[in-house]
Each structure stands twice: as C-alpha cells, then as structure tokens.
A and B are shown apart, each in its own frame.
Chain A
Amino acid sequence: MTNLSHPSFADPAVEQSRQRQMDVLVGYILLSGVVLSLALISAGLFWKFLQTGRLRLDYQVAGMNLFEFVTSEIRLAVQGQMRPRLLVNMGIAILMLTPFLRVLASMVYFFAVSKNWKYTLFTLFVLMVLTRSLFLR
C-alpha cells in the first residue's frame, strides 16, 4: 500500500528513525522541565538563605489548583512584594507541567508526524483527564 503524499511513510526504517527523533525530543522536554524546575527551587531556597541565613522555608499552602498556586505569588510580585516562594512555587508548577508537556508533544507527534489516529486519540484522552485534574479545586 503506497501513500503518494508520503512515499516513505510505510518504510519501517523511516518510521523507526522518526520514532527515535521523537524519543530525543521527549527526553529533552523531560530534562529541561526538571532542570528549570530545580533551578527555580534552588534559587528560591538560596534567596531565602540570603534573607534569613537559613535554608528553611516555613510555609504551607491552602488547597488550590496549579494556576492559583502560581498566580497568587505573581500577584504579590506585581504589587512589589516578590518573595522567595514565588520562585519555589514556579519551580513546583513547572515540574508538574513537565509530564503534561511530554504528553502534549507525544500527541503532536502521533497526529502530525506519524499520522496515527489511534494513538492521537489515546494521547488526547490522557491530555483531557490531566487538564481536568490540574483545574481541580
């Protein structure tokens, strides 16, 4: 079965090389998400250390979803009350968004590159459930 617009699509070697490129992309998404998150959390802790001389953050948060978790601190920062926990909260939020982004990238891959409707639907389902859970309150 040949596909004229994508003559190489049925070729397993091409399919495999695309899959490998996807592996590399997924790897970098995961890596950058974790690295950025760690950098922000470390910076927040270090800032706190400069302020107080201790590597300790004494705060808890009330129940909120991921977006309130970040926007509450951003709002304070805009009012000129930026504090270390802004960086820490952003770090935690980016960590949580990392697997989410990974799934999003997988969906784009299955949809646009490998044109695999089955797996596009599977990933879409996962994305929808995750999106819903991120808005839980």
Chain B
Amino acid sequence: MISFHVLFPVAVVAGFVGAMSGMGGGIILIPALTLLGVSIKHAIAISILSVIATSSGSASAYVRDHITNLKVGMFLEMFTIVGALAGAAITLAISARPLYIAFGAVLLGSWLALLIVGHETWQAVTQQDPISRWLELEGSYPDLTLGQTIHYKARRAYIGAPLMFGAGMIAGLLGIGAGAVKVLIHDLVMGLPPKVSTTTSNLIIGVTALAGTSVYLAAGLISPGLAAPIILGVVLGAFLGTRLLVRLSNHSVRRFFLFILLILSVEMIIRGIRGA
C-alpha cells in the first residue's frame, strides 16, 4: 500500500488540473497511480470515485455563480449514465493493455480536438432547431471577464445526445470525467459558450461518475484505503482550481491543458504497446 504522503500530493495536483479544465482529476491521477504500481483497473475505479468529488466540489461553486445550465445538464445526463454503465462493464471484461492504449488514444483525441477548437471564438447560435427549442435548451450567465450577461441558445441536441452516450461510455470505461469530450460536444455540436460548456459538463460528470463507480464498487475494485487520501487531495486541488477558473480567460485555460494532455497521452500509449 502506497503511503499518504505520496498519494495526497499526487491527488492535489490531479484535482487542481481536473477542475481548471473541467475534465475531472482522472487524466493525471490514473497515469500517476499506475506509475506508483496500482493496477490500471483499480486506478480507474478509484479515479472515477474521486471524479464524483472533484466534479461535485467545483460544480457547487459554478452552479452558485449561475454559469451552469441545469436543463442542458439533465437532458444530457440521461445519455451519459447509460453510457457509463456500459463502459464500466467493458472495463471489467477486458485486459489491461487495451485500457492503456484506449486511455492514451482518448487523451490524444482530446488534445487534437482542443487544439482545433482553441483557435475559434464562440459564435452565438441564432437559429435554434425545433428539437432543441422543445427541450428548452437556452440560458444566460454573467461573464466576469466581459462584465456583462451573455444570452445563448443551444442547437442540435439530437446529435449531442447520442454523442454524450459515447462520452459517458469513455468515462465509465477509463474512469475519467471525459470532460474534454463533453466540452467538445457542447462547443462544436451544440454551440454553447465555452464557460457554460465547461461548467455544465462538470455537473454531468458527477452523475456519470456515480453510475460508473457503482459498477466498480460492485466488482470490489474500490479500495477505501487507497480512496481516502486520494479523495481528500483531489478535492483540495479542485477547490483551488475552481477559484482560478472564474477569473482566467478561456484562452489561457486551454493552452495550459493542451500541453499536459499531449505528454500524458503519448506516455500511456507507449506503456500500452510495451505492455508495462
């Protein structure tokens, strides 16, 4: 068993990065835990449990800042939770090496996607399709950087929904919040403003992670001895990260994560291929 003074700081860093990106702490936590000698399935299980904490902790602040869109969140959660249950069931069934490669590939995909999206500025949706209108997917939020209230509408919920099933599946499969994937769907497909998409994805992540965690708990992969210090560290890190997000511009947040994502994805793919 790894000691508290190793697990705790690792978890603090993971929580910090996870909250700032809206991706959950898993992207740092899982590679770090496997490097410390934890099996990848245990790492995935602990990570998705800690993702509940990261997500709930930071979502509590975002929600009270009125940035999160509860309806968008509730609608998409219907799809992510079913995906998460399926994803976690797959993880229980397969061996470790494909999990490493899948983990690296998802991170690399997120990296590529964020790189592309990062150069675009948000364009408000003017024409809403009938389905998204029926689903009442719209809202407004106070933007502290611009000093004004932004009104927005979401579109193409009918494409976003099945894609969110996939995002939920990735979350359950790999024990990550898969926030980057969710943010991407919100941004590119549904046309939500970046801050709304990051914070709403954070809300969705908590419920999605709960579905995944239940499967891992039932499988005996949640080790409380490992979970305790990690949850404490992750929440402390997330708390610090959240306080920073509201003040930072979208651009600087993205650039920081692109760098971290790239390194981690390459590292995980190499380990999957080598079989370490």
Contact = CB atoms under 8 A, between A and B. Distances in A.
A39 to B, nearest CB: 10
A98 B4 contact: no
Contacts of B1: 56-58
A95 B49 contact: yes
Contacts of B32: none
B218 A63 contact: yes
B165 to A, nearest CB: 12
Secondary structure type dominating chain B contacts: helix
B53 A37 contact: yes
A57 B224 contact: yes
B220 interface: yes
Residue in A85, A125, A129 whose Cβ sees the most chain B Cβ within 10 Å = A129
B66 to A, nearest CB: 5
Contact of A26 (B52, B70, B209, B223): B70
A75 interface: no
Contacts of B235: 34, 38
B213 interface: yes
B34 interface: no
A136 B172 CA distance: 15
B60 A30 contact: yes
Contacts of B56: 30, 33-34, 95, 98-99, 102
A34 B53 contact: yes
Given A30-B56, A34-B56, A136-B218, A19 B70 contact: yes
Interface in B70-88: 70-71, 74-75, 77-78, 81-82, 85
B60 A130 contact: no
B224 A92 contact: yes
Contacts of A44: 228
A103 interface: yes
A102 to B, nearest CB: 7
Interface in A104-132: 106, 110, 116, 118-119, 122-123, 125-126, 129-130
A9 interface: no
Contact of A125 (B3, B61, B78, B140): B78
A91 B228 CA distance: 9
A49 B183 CA distance: 41
A18 to B, nearest CB: 11
Contact of A60 (B61, B82, B225): B225
A27 B63 contact: yes
Contacts of A45: 4, 228-229, 232
Interface of A: 16, 19-20, 22-24, 26-31, 33-34, 37-38, 41-42, 44-45, 54-66, 69, 85, 88-89, 91-92, 95-96, 98-100, 102-103, 106, 110, 116, 118-119, 122-123, 125-126, 129-130, 133-134, 136-137
18 contacts: A26-B70, A30-B60, A30-B63, A37-B53, A41-B228, A56-B4, A56-B225, A60-B225, A63-B219, A64-B218, A64-B220, A69-B217, A88-B224, A99-B52, A119-B71, A119-B75, A129-B81, A133-B210
Interface of B: 1, 3-5, 49, 52-53, 55-57, 59-61, 63-64, 66, 68, 70-71, 74-75, 77-78, 81-82, 85, 134-136, 140, 206-207, 209-211, 213-215, 217-220, 222-225, 227-229, 231-232, 235
